[in-house]
Chain A
Amino acid sequence: MKKLSAIIGILFLGISAHAQETKDSTIALKEVTVMAKAKKKIETEMKMAVSVDEFLASSDNISFIKRGAYAWEPQLNNMSSERSVITIDGMHIFGACTDKMDPVTSYVESNNLSSVDIKSGQEGSLHGSTIAGSIDLKRKSTPFSTESKWRGAYQTGMELNNKQYFNLGNVSYSSDKFVADGSVSFRQAGNYTDGNREEVKHSQYHKFNTSLGLAYKTRPLSSVRVDAIFDVAKDVGFPALPMDLWLSRALITSASYKQFSEKGLIRVWDTKLYFNAVEHYMDDTGRPENLVHMDMPGWSTTYGLVSRANMITGRVNSEIQLNAYSNLSIAEMRMYPQDRGQRTMFAYSWPWVTTQFASIAISNSLDVSLQSQLNFGGSLGYNYNFSRFTEFNRIFHPGAPREKSRILPALHAGYRFSAGHVDFSVGTGYGHRAPSVSEAYGYYIYNSFDRYDYIGNPDLKNEISYEINAGAGFRTGKGAIEGKVNYFYIQNYIIGRILSLGSPMNYQSVGVKEYTSLDHAKIFNVALNARYDILPHLHWKGSLTYARATDNKGGNLPFIRPVSYQSSLHLMYKKMGFQTSVNGDLTQKKYSPEYGEDQTAGYWVWNASADYTFRLKNVRTVFQAGAENLLDAYYSTYADWGNIPRMGRNIFTSLKFSI
């Protein structure tokens, strides 16, 4: 939470990336130092070689729905991924899988990211309309430097439980005029075993990711940059689903132009054109128990523009962002009858749905005094959907329009005060979001959690969020404690409801659900964080979260995290570091049988690791070994799809060389 608020605070100062190119500008320099503080390495305290998912999991307000060992779906503020904006450097990307087996976070790798910027609630509306907030994955982008410099890192390691091997390499070159960043990574893992030493079948994965970024300084204060990420995942098992992934691929490209200015209204202007294409092919041939062989390919193609400007007028620092994108989502299902000579059965689960979105957003920060700051902003978005094969949607919604336009406004305001040892903040927000492609146009999308086929509704109303949040902190030289709460009142909350007239299509399903709007839902999140330096080199950290969410009838909403806690100790001794942590959830009391949930028992796991840093000539080398779930606890969390058990004891090692 601490890091998070630091990031949020810094955002109002504006500039990200390579601001160093304007060395002669004092403003820019100041911002660089601030930004450097905010940047966190993509590693957790326990583990330096983490996947993007593991890294995100270390944030308080992110939880995950897990369908296996790979491609976890991030939940921000206990809300599903449709309710947050997930971007890569501000670029919108949409997964190509109707079953959310490929969240955006699955198409990047930890060695091509520099930080992850999480904003809660309407403060995230800068990137697009949202309810829960935004997650912006920031890519590595080395600043220009006066002298030519090569930097690089290589990391390798293995995890014993699932025989995971990974090799991550990245290299960067920087000079006065030219910068290049490149990375290659490869991970492969077999099936993991749970706490009862039983193999969880279909939990293997293979992932390859590479990225390249090239920047060229066109003039002293302007630069152009092109970036590309190519990601391939193959043979990925999803133990909680009746099928696996044969192949998913993403190509994520962008070209940007950045202009700095030492004086005047606009200090930074950054414009980026982007294109990304995602393809996702499921495979059920490894599941002989399946009655029907099915192909379920999906494609998602997006091109767009993001342009932002940082302006300083008097005491107000403003960031203006223009977003525009067009996405085409296509998903097919083809079922093969037992008699393969017979005709196959075909339907679109996403009937060629185009989504076009444009928004203009502003975020301002006004320094009221040295101690206090007022943040306010808003956005106005326009969302347009076009379904090419509307006739699919009209089966359940006769007369549904082919096209649909929506206006999506958002507003937020916040006040922060800090003096001496204390700081506090209050904020409020209001915002709309449009239904996702699945919610509006999905067609017989099988959800293996509640075992229903889901049908979209093109006429769903905008979801409208009213939000308040507050935070308070107390800090001394040796420790700090901080609490944060937020409360969302969401009108027209979209959720699946049983449709009595529907007959399931997927043979595993028990019925048909239609996305409908509840009159409202309420979601409340609390997070408490504390740290204390017991000795100069012995640090303690702890966190506690609680959430409560109800629908309009007071019933529980699904996938709400029970009380969870984490406590860790970190000891540094000479060149060695030791970490140990305990984390767990209490028993899920407020589960929702209505939405297919059963009660999940509480659990706790104990982790420990040690690392040693040394130099091999000029190469900084870190060796780490540790174990997660040391006691081999058998458990599954509230958000484990189909209650699949989590990994049992896992011993991991990694070795990192960097220059």
Chain B
Amino acid sequence: MKQTLFIVLCFLVASCTLDKTDYLAEISTIVTEHNEFKEVTVIRNDDYTISVSALNGTLYKGYNEIRLKVTNSRTGSDENVTAATFLPVLSTADGSRTSCPHRFELVYRPDEKYFSGYAVFPRESGDRENWELYIGFTVASQVHTVKQPVSIQQQTNKNLNMTAFTGNDNQQYIIALVSPQKPKVAENELVAGIYRSVNPTAGSYTELLQYAYTEVSGYTLQLDPRMPEPSMGNHSSPNNKDLTQQEDGLYDGAVNYTMTGNWTLNFILLNENGKIIKGTKVPTDFTPGVEGVKSELHIDILF
């Protein structure tokens, strides 16, 4: 009886239980979502103030949407800029200079009154690697150019990872994830930019850089998302859609994440003729205890 009473007491006292998971808060702590464009850098001279903005006011390795605005330094009012150009340049210690995928001729968005572009930085700034932005703009048919060093930071959000590789056609490619920044256990619209390096043989020095990469068109990026953890046994999800090119040049598809955690986006990149540029088919069987085999073209994400 005493024993019974004791056990009963234990039951009543030991009433600590698990708390419910705050799912929305949890995915926010793993993945920081940046929705606000903030000023990355500002270039001021006597006449003009050039402001470059990006999400969170930081340029990261990978895909960055860029907004550029030119105002009059004296009055502070918007200048009537008719065209703007944008060229990121990487200088390394050995003196070489390269660029990266970017939009050279920025697009004016009259509603929001800024010039819009993007840059995919394949490398972070380092001791021996410096990034500079070469910006040009035209006011009253007069072209002005400025140059500004910037710092490229590490992208901690794996959902915005990128990969650079040599395709079967011996060309250099870059695939950079654009969205979702913060995936959910759901069907997520998956957006990526796909770029190929080109080696223009003629042109001025800046022209060579400016055309260093091009958006590939008419390609298909086949998608097979899987959880690589051995315990997940090569788990995948249904209803995924391969990425195809949209009007804005980016590639769009759908990825379903069935749970949070580590996922691998296994890709096969096909060119406009359906030829495999890079990537291998991954096994589809359920293999508990075995780490998932990844495609030779893949991007790991985590949320």
A615 / chain B contacts, CB cutoff of 8 Å: none
Shortest CB–CB separation between residue A186 and chain B, in angstroms? Answer: 5
A347 in the interface, Cβ–Cβ < 8 Å?
Answer: yes
Provide the residues of chain A in CB contact with B229, threshold 8 Å. Answer: 337-338, 342, 345
Which residues does chain B contribute within 8 Å of A234, judged by CB atoms?
11
Q: When the two chains form their complex, are residues A391 and B235 in contact, meaning their CB atoms are under 8 A apart?
A: no
> In the complex where A396-B238, A396-B239, A504-B235 touch, is A299 in contact with B7 (Cβ < 8 A)?
no
Given A299-B20, A395-B239, A503-B286, the answer on whether A345 and B186 have CB atoms closer than 8 Å is no
B residues within 8 A CB of A188? Answer: 7
Q: Assess whether A335 is in contact with B289, with CB atoms less than 8 Å apart.
A: no
Distance, CA A232 to CA B17, complexed state (A): 12
Expressed in whole angstroms, the Cα–Cα distance for A422 and B4 within the complex equals 52
Contact with A along B21-47 (1 / 0, CB 8 A): 101001000100000000000000000
- Which of B1, B232, B237, B302 meets A507, CB within 8 Å? B232
Contacts of A505 in B (CB 8 A): 232, 235, 258-259
Chain A positions 258-305 with a Cβ under 8 Å from a chain B Cβ: 279, 281, 291-292, 295, 297, 299
The answer to whether A343 has its CB under 8 Å from any CB of chain B is yes
CB distance B261 to A346 under 8 Å? Answer: yes
Q: Which residues 57-95 of B sit at the A interface, judged by CB distance below 8 A? A: none
Contacts of B185 in A (CB 8 A): 346-348, 389, 391-392, 395
- Asked if A343 contacts B20 (CB within 8 A), the reply is no
Is the Cβ of A343 less than 8 Å from the Cβ of B21? no
Q: Is the CB of A208 within 8 A of B8?
A: yes
Is A206 close to B, CB under 8 A? yes
Whether, in the assembled complex, A502 has its beta carbon less than 8 Å from a beta carbon of chain B, the answer is yes
A616 contacts the other chain (CB 8 A): no
A504 to B237, CA, bound (A): 9
Q: Is residue A497 contacting chain B, with contact meaning CB distance below 8 A?
A: no
Q: Does A225 contact B (CB under 8 A)?
A: no
The reply to whether B186 and A503 contact each other, CB–CB distance below 8 Å, is no
B249 CB–A CB distance under 8 Å: no
Which residue of B30, B184, B238 is within 8 Å of A343 (Cβ)?
B30
Nearest B residue (CB) for A294 = B231
Q: Which of A485-512 contact B (CB under 8 A)?
A: 499, 501-505, 507-511
Chain B residues, CB < 8 A from A347: 185, 258-260
Residues of A551-583 whose CB lies within 8 A of B: none
Residue interface bits B280-303, CB-to-A below 8 A is 1, else 0: 000010101100000000000010
Instruction: Report which of A279, A330, A345 forms a contact with B260, defined as CB distance below 8 A.
Output: A345
- Which residues of A have CB within 8 Å of B288? 291, 507-508
Q: Mark B224-244, 1 if CB is under 8 A from A, else 0.
A: 000101111111111100000
Closest to A395 in B: B256
List chain B residues, Cβ under 8 A from A509.
Answer: 286
- Using A338-B231, A507-B288 as known contacts, say yes or no to A346 and B187 having CB atoms under 8 A apart: no
Contacts known (A186-B4, A186-B7, A503-B237); A334 close to B231, Cβ less than 8 A: no
Point out the residues of chain A lying under 8 angstroms from B30, CB to CB.
343
- Collect the chain A residues with CB atoms within 8 Å of residue B7's CB: 186, 188, 206, 208
Chain A residues, Cβ within 8 Å of B233: 504, 507
Interface of B with A (CB < 8 Å)? 1, 4, 7-8, 11-12, 15, 17-18, 20-21, 23, 26, 30, 184-187, 227, 229-239, 256, 258-262, 284, 286, 288-289, 302
| Beyond A343-B30, A343-B262, A345-B260, 8 additional pairs, beta carbon < 8 A | A165-B4, A232-B11, A335-B261, A338-B230, A344-B261, A345-B259, A391-B185, A395-B239
The 3 tightest CB contacts between A and B, nearest first, are: A391-B186, A345-B261, A347-B259
Query: A residues bordering B, Cβ < 8 Å?
Result: 165, 167, 184, 186, 188, 206, 208, 232, 234, 247, 249, 279, 281, 291-292, 295, 297, 299, 330, 332-335, 337-338, 342-348, 389, 391-392, 394-396, 398, 444, 499, 501-505, 507-511
